[in-house]
Structure 1
Amino acid sequence: MTSPAQVANDLMAQADRLAGRGQDDLVKSLRRGARVIREQLQVQMQLEAAAEAEAVRFERYRNGDDR
């Protein structure tokens, strides 16, 4: 299965191939799609890190070590 990062890379590569060939709107859309995918990957990583930190805090609380 293709990763979101690879999809973003493929979109950018396609945009680069089409740049300067009269496909400006398509190029802009491809680049925007790649940028949105990358931004969402960043958000996902931040959410995963926050969830992990909360899991650690909860485990400490449950074990009575909630300092």
Structure 2
Amino acid sequence: DMPEIVFEQIEHFFTHYKDLEKKKWVRVGMWGDADEARRITLEAIERYDAAKCAGLESMNANEGAGRK
């Protein structure tokens, strides 16, 4: 359990962190619980591993990140 303000701060961050990037936006849908987060994370890892094995990994985690 977390105070409501923590959820509001997290939602505000993810809603606005791409504001300076043209044609990019984020929409916060709904909040899930820890079990759902775990399931989604494991599914993402499985998709990544499958793509990597298939040679579809197109960029490393740091490529394109940061300031120029």
TM-score, length-normalised on structure 2? 0.35
Structure of greater Rg: 1
TM-score, length-normalised on structure 1? 0.36
Structure with larger RCO (C-alpha < 8 A, sep 6+): 1
Higher helix share: 1
